[in-house]
Every structure is written in C-alpha cells, then in structure tokens.
Amino acid sequence: MNDLAARIETARAKWDSLNNSKVPVIYIGTATCGTAAGALDVLEAVRTTLKENKLKAKVVQVGCIGPCYLEPLMDIKMPGEARVSYASVTPQTARAIIEEQLIKGKLPLKYAVGHFGVNGNGHIDGIPKFFELPMLRNQVRLVLRNCGFIDPEDIDHYLANDGYAGLRKALELSPEEVIEIVKDAGLRGRGGAGFPTWRKWEICRGAAGTDKYMICNCSEGDPGAFMNRSLIESDPHAVLEGLQIAAYAIGASHGYVYINSDYNLAISRLLKATEQMREYGLLGDNILGSDFSFDVIVKEGAGAFVCGEETALIGSIEGRRGMPKSRPPFPAIAGLKGKPTIINNVETLGALPNILRNGADWYKQFGVQGNYGTKTFSLVGKVRRPGLIEVPLGIKLRQIIFDIGGGSWKPFKGVQTGGPSGGCLSEESLDIPVEYESMKSAGSIMGSGGMIVMDEDSCVVDLALYFLHFTQNESCGKCAPCRVGTHHMVDILERIAAGKSRMEDLSQLQVLAETVARASLCGLGQTAPNPVLTTLRHFRSEYLTHIKEKHCSAAACKELVEYEIDPAKCNGCQRCVSICPTEAISGAKAEIHKIDQYRCIKCKACYEVCRYDPLAADAVVITSRRNAS
Amino acid sequence: MTDQDYNEIFSGFKGEESDLITILLRVQERLGYISKDAIKHISQFLRISENQIYGVASFYSKYRFTEPGKKCVKVCMGTACHVHGGKYLSDAVGWKLGISIGQVSPDHRFDFRRVNCLGCCALAPVVEIDNRVHARMMVTDLEEMMSRGE
C-alpha cells in the first residue's frame, strides 16, 4: 500500500509539472476517430514545425474528447495560460497555429473553438469555454471524465487524477459492502438491457466454489456504435479498475477482457495498461497488500455480433463457435469452464471507480429515480454535431438530438436507438425521457448507445431492411425462428423496397416479426424484429406508399427512383456524360443532356458530379414517381 | 509458412483448446489467410480435429480461407455510413472490379471486403484502403482512386 502511495505522490508531481510546464504543451487527440480524420499527419507536422523552428514544447497524445465533427483536435497550453483547443486541424493549419502562437505569441482566433480556462475559470476574448460549447453544455462527464485529458498510455496520468482510489476504497471494505454500495447507487447494466448490476453480482457471490471469473464485454459488434472502443482507447485504466472492483465483489481471481479484434489501438492500450499495472503491483497476488489476487487476460474475438450475448461470448473464449446456449443455468451460476462467471459491459465497469470513490449518494444526484447515473451515446447519422456524448439518464431525446447534436441538416424524420436490436422513434416520441423503461414502452430499447439520426433523405423501409440484413447475416443459425424467420423478413422487405409487394405482405411481416421475437433462443433473435416492428408502428404510412404507390419519399430505395436531368438547370457541361460508366447520358456540349433509363444503373456518379463540380449546375435529380396500382 | 514460423506462433500458447481463436488470428496476420496447411499444423499443436478447427474458423467473419489481393478495399457498412449512402460505394467497387463482397479481383490487385463499422461515424461514409481511412467518400472519388491504382 505504501509503495502505491509513493507512486501516487510521484504521479501527482509529474502531472503538476505537465500542467505548470515551463514550455508550451501541445495535446493531440489520436484515438481512432482522430486518426481517421488525419491526426497522425497533424502530429507529424507539429513535430517537424517544432524542429524546424527549434522550439521547445511537450507533445502529448491524448484520447477522444467527444465532438467527432471537430476532429482532428489540437490543443495548446502556453505556460501560465489557459489551454486552447483548435478544431479541424490540417498539417498546414497546425503549422500556422504553432507559428502564430508559439513564435509570434498571438492567439490564432480563427482556428480556435474553445478554451479550458485556468482551473476551470478564466476568460479569453473571442474564444468560448470548451465545456460551454452547445454540444458539451448539457453533458455530464463521469465515465468519460479523463478522456481527452490524460495520456492513456501513462498510468501516472491516471493515478494523478484519483486513479485506483475506487479500488483502494473497495479493498478497505468487505465484498458484501461493495455490492451494497453498488446496489444503493442503483447501477444498471449499460450494455443495453439494464439488469441491476448488484443482483447479478450477488447471485455469483453466493454461488458455490472458489474459482470464479469476471469478464469485461467489449464485443461491441453493432454498427454505428463506438462508445466502448473510445473509452478503452482514451482511458483504459478506468475500465480495468472497474473490472477489479467487480472481481473483488464477486470473489473472482481471473479476469478477461473480451474485445473485438478490429480494435487494434484499444487492444494495444489495454495490453500496455495491464503491463503497467503489474509493475505497480495492481495486478497479481495480494494486490496492495490485501488478500485479493487477480489477473487479466485480453482475449480477442474474431468478428461475430452474436458474441455480445453472454453464453456465446463464453463459448468464444473457450475456443468454440460463438453460439448461445439456453438458460438457465445462468453464467452467474455456471459460466466459463462451468464456473460462476459475471459479464459486465465496458461502460458499467467504467462507472464503478466513480461510484466507489465518491459514494452512492454522489452518484444518485445524476439521473432520475430508478435510472441513476449517466449513459454514453454515439450520436451519429444526419446530425449537425456528431460525436461521443455522455448524458444523465432521464434527459429527453429532444435535448440530445437538438441541443447537443444541433438537429439535422434537413427536416428531421426519426431516430434509431439500440442498433440492430433497437427501434426507430418518430418526432412524437422525442419528449420521452431516456430511461430503460420508457424507451422500452416506446418500442425501442436503450441499447448499448448507438443513436442514429435520420432526416427526410433517409427511408425507414430501407433502414429496416438494412438492419434485418445485418441480423440475418449475423444469426448463428442455431434456432429456426431466427435463422429462417429473419431470412423471410428480409425477403418481404426487399420486395417492399423494390415496389413488388402487395398489401398482404405487410400483415405477414407483422406476424412473422412477432413470431421471431417470441420464439428465438437468445437476445439476437428476440430483438432482431424490433427495427421492423417499430417502423411499422411509427412510420406505417411510409410502408403504405411503398406498397400502394411504389413511391419512396426519401428517394433512397434504388428500385423506386429514376435519375433525371432538369432541363431548366442543365448547362450542357458534359461532366456527367464523361463520368457515366454505362454511357447512359447523351448530349452535345452546351446542349441539354438526357439520361437513357434503360442503360442507367443508378450509381449516383452523375448526381455527385453535378452537385460538386464547379462547372456543373445541380441539374441531375433523383426522383421517385407515384404510381397508383 | 515454414514449420519454424508455426512454432514461433505457437510458442506463446499453452496448447489448450481455448487458444484456438487467438492462434487463428495470429496465423492470419502472418499469412493473410487460413490455409489448409495452417489448419493441419494447428490441429497437431492443439490436438483437436481439423474439422473442428474449420468449424470454428468458418463461424467468425474475420477469418478467410483464400489468399488476399494486394490492396484491401474495405467499405464500411455501419449504420451511419448506410444513411449517408454507403451502399452506393460498395456497389461502385463491385461494379468497377466486377466482383462481389468477399472476393478478390481476377488480377489479384484488389481485395474487396465489408466491415460492420469502422467506428468513425462522424466522417461517414468511409472506405478503408490498406489501413488508411478515407472520409466522406463519394462514388466518383472512389472510382478515381481505384483507377489510379491507389
């Protein structure tokens, strides 16, 4: 214990010296989202600019702070001044910013988006506070508190920010007392189902045997969701600390982190973090001088959505096909290798250090009765400010989409929550609070945190088809309702999207969806029809126009649209003629062009050229005609 | 891969059945795919049948059993990319190369894959070519890049 106290002392000194550095500090967000936007090129440019100008500065790579639409983000903190954040940085602007701020000593206001103040206070003319930007103002960052601030590869940064204080607190208590605190805090599973965490733990704690397993579920296979990956990339120790607290509570001495093998950066950061923990005596036998011994194995999955299901995940860790088993016995009684096992989501574990450190009452000030705490969401789709957000439970969907996300560019149509297991909600449902029960009664689910906003250019039939395609692909094939049912649902939806369906199809789809939901073995099949059921409930009229009028109002269903040239706008620039892969467009220079519908393969190339080429005149339009049958 | 390469990979494992998925991943990282020969070697090391290994490997979408093409074009099929028109991109790649998802172009230059989500939804639609993510792609950009052989 004393050993760690000394290390914390050094870590704090290191952290303070970084914050009060005599030389400028440059922070660059290099998590996967930042890297995709070009953060590594910016990093390279920063290093060369510093070198060329013989400037002294510290460069720190941090994780993701959330507003993905501003990536790549670069922050500069001059000695004694506030840290200022610059958005959408390119190698060229990075160079300009450094020259302006580090050499000339001026603030390049036109690139700045926000500042972090000095100890939370301070004012800079022309730059708002970062956390008062519209996207961040309504957020409450508990799980993501360190993301974007600490170097995720340096355990000292985590220690200096109250890292492992939750674990130390837990080790002072008995496991039963830890469970009691988590029960009192009302923490529920953040993987989506919302099962009370403490109840699962209690069952496992009471199960016979001494060999127990604690697993962190970072399978995160649903498309459009990246909360867990982002958390592990930006603050891996928070998740590992949570894993240890949970392991201590249930009496487990072996832990696994089951992670999607595509998450390369997250995996390497986890491995580095566990290495550092071993060095600091935070893993292994008798951790911090207590009786608690624990070790972690990072286990990669190999790309199967169904492995997010507990029994399938266990199968995958054991080296088998990831197929779910019927329950009971529940994993809490007989899981991995037949031993009692608890599987918690990354975010559930990420919340634990905060709860243990600050107590249940502190945690309960966030959220509402029965739904305490916060939830992270990846807010994406047709929204103005996409990104990773954390909000208190009980917030209205409208606040998330319009206040934080800034609404959609074109008129809003709906929001899809919970990924392939969730549902689509329409404008009328926007005033329901984001709670496990209310989301369920609206037909959707809270889900693990994917939130996709749709505008009038998105077609709900197309989206339902997309999700059913996905679940049909990912169905493991063990039980017939899921294997065969999803296949038939895809068939029907494809017919509707192609304008080849009849009214009977709709009732058949409804019956089939209800059957699959009721008869499937595991959560994948039981929730697979949700996208269809909710769209049938909230957007029935769109299905009807597809069936009766062969019309797709969003012009997204390929079979129901035609590409046409608006003769009033066409200036005869011939850009579309040359780009068309099937030579479907004809027309001499300066004459109005024409599209041959028989040759057109609807690849969208002419549409793009006509929109984005400076010579062109927005003349190509995609239209869907109404044909009454 | 030689016997020595396999031994190198196997040296990090105890030889338990639960190591199978990770071993397959390591082999694929080195070789690019899971060959018949690899399955034979793994079978001997873990002392489980080749059928069982193939059964497990074919369950997971990550593993492939044919030699990959030189350039890997991965089109993101995530929800955010889908609503931003990602399917036009995969149609364009398929049309351009004359192959469908999961196949290799006849000249072995391109490898056409889909991914469920690359997790950069704010940049949608995205395409990953040889581990580099290209943001806000359009059909015309993609065709041009592929024509240039990038």
CA distances to A29, A104, A421 from A59, rounded to whole Å, are: 11, 19, 42
CB-CB neighbors (< 8 A) of A336 in chain B: none
Residue of higher predicted confidence among B150 and B16 = B16
CB-CB neighbors (< 8 A) of B83 in chain A: 381-382, 452, 454, 458, 463
Q: Which residue has the tokens 């200036």?
A: A571
- The whole-number average pLDDT for the span A343-365 is 97
Residue A148 pLDDT > 80: yes
> Helix (H, G, I), strand (E, B), or coil: what is residue A553?
coil
CA distance A295 to A520: 36
Residue among A33, A382, A604 minimizing CB distance to B83: A382
Q: Which two tokens stand for residue A130?
A: 């970062």
A459 Cβ neighbours under 8 A, 6+ residues apart: A497, A542, A552, A553, A554, A555, A556, A557
- The whole-number average pLDDT for the span A426-430 is 93
Residue of chain B minimizing CA distance to A454: B83
The amino acid present at A435, given as its one-letter code, is E
A192 — pLDDT class (breaks 50, 70, 90)? confident
**Is the CB of A36 less than 8 angstroms away from the CB of B135?**
yes
ipTM field: 0.95
Q: Which two tokens stand for residue A418?
A: 């919970």
CA distance A595 to A579: 13
∠ CA A461-A421-B58, rounded to 5°: 100
A518 Cβ neighbours under 8 A, 6+ residues apart: A481, A526
CB-CB neighbors (< 8 A) of A73 in chain B: none
CA distance A168 to A181: 14
CB atoms inside a 10 Å sphere around CB A234? 27
Q: Where are the beta strands (DSSP E) in A283-386?
A: 295-300, 341-345, 367-368, 371-372, 374-381
A488 — pLDDT class (breaks 50, 70, 90)? very high
CA distance B8 to chain A (A): 19
CA distance A400 to A438: 16
Q: Where are the beta strands (DSSP E) in A384-528?
A: 387-392, 412-417, 423-426, 450-455
CA distance A471 to A223: 11
Chains A & B: contacts with CB separation below 8 Å: 147
Mean pLDDT estimate for chain A:
94
Residue A305 pLDDT > 70: yes
pLDDT, one tens digit per residue, over A360-417 is 999 999 999 999 999 999 999 999 999 999 999 999 999 999 999 999 989 999 999 9
CA distance B139 to chain A (A): 6
- Closest by CA to A496, choosing from A465, A466, A471, is A465
Q: Which residue has the tokens 């209800």?
A: A514
∠ CA A448-A450-A456, rounded to 5°: 150
Interface of B with A in 45-104 (CB under 8 A): 55-56, 59-63, 77-80, 82-85, 88, 91-92, 95-96
User: Per residue, what are the HEC states of A568-599?
Assistant: CCCCCCCHHHHHCCCCCEECCCCCCCEECCCC
pTM, two decimal places: 0.95
Residue A419 · residue A447 · CB < 8 Å: yes
**Is the CB of B59 less than 8 angstroms away from the CB of A322?**
yes
CA distance B4 to chain A (A): 24
Interface test with A, best of B59, B113, B138, B143 (most A CBs within 10 A): B59
Q: Which two tokens stand for residue A150?
A: 């600490």
Residue among B85, B96, B121 minimizing CB distance to A378: B121
CB atoms inside a 10 Å sphere around CB B30? 13
Residue B123 at interface with chain A, using a CB cutoff of 8 Å: yes
Residue A119 pLDDT > 80: no
- The whole-number average pLDDT for the span A531-555 is 95
Interface test with B, best of A71, A226, A412 (most B CBs within 10 A): A226
Instruction: Return the pLDDT at A120.
Output: 62
B118 — pLDDT class (breaks 50, 70, 90)? confident
Residue of higher predicted confidence among B95 and A561 = A561
Residue A39 pLDDT > 70: yes
Residue A1 pLDDT > 70: no
Query: Which of A409-423, A554-568, B118-132 is predicted with the least confidence, judged by mean pLDDT?
Result: B118-132
Residue B6 pLDDT > 60: yes
**Is the CB of B83 less than 8 angstroms away from the CB of A319?**
no
Residue B13 · residue B22 · CB < 8 Å: yes
- Bridge partners of B128, per DSSP, are B74, B133
Residue A447 · residue A421 · CB < 8 Å: yes
Q: Give percent above pLDDT 70 in chain A.
A: 99
- The whole-number average pLDDT for the span A248-256 is 96
Residue A446 pLDDT > 70: yes
How much is the CA Rg of chain A, to the nearest whole Å?
27
Instruction: Return the pLDDT at A137.
Output: 93
CA distance A56 to chain B (A): 31
A145 — pLDDT class (breaks 50, 70, 90)? very high
**Is the CB of A33 less than 8 angstroms away from the CB of B82?**
no
Query: Which of A86-95, A139-148, A181-190, B116-125 is predicted with the least confidence, judged by mean pLDDT?
Result: B116-125
Residue of chain B minimizing CA distance to A64: B120
Residue B149 pLDDT > 80: no
**Is the CB of A608 less than 8 angstroms away from the CB of B140?**
yes
Residue A540 · residue A501 · CB < 8 Å: no
B150 — pLDDT class (breaks 50, 70, 90)? low
Interface test with A, best of B14, B17, B20, B21 (most A CBs within 10 A): B21
The amino acid present at A377, given as its one-letter code, is F
CB-CB neighbors (< 8 A) of A321 in chain B: 55-56, 59
Residue B114 at interface with chain A, using a CB cutoff of 8 Å: no
φ/ψ of A108, rounded to 5, equals: -75, 85
Q: Give all strands of the β-sheet with A213-218 in edge-to-edge order.
A: A295-300, A254-259, A213-218, A341-345
DSSP 8-state assignment for residue A116:
-
CA distance A403 to A383: 11
- Bridge partners of A59, per DSSP, are A26
**Is the CB of B78 less than 8 angstroms away from the CB of A454?**
no
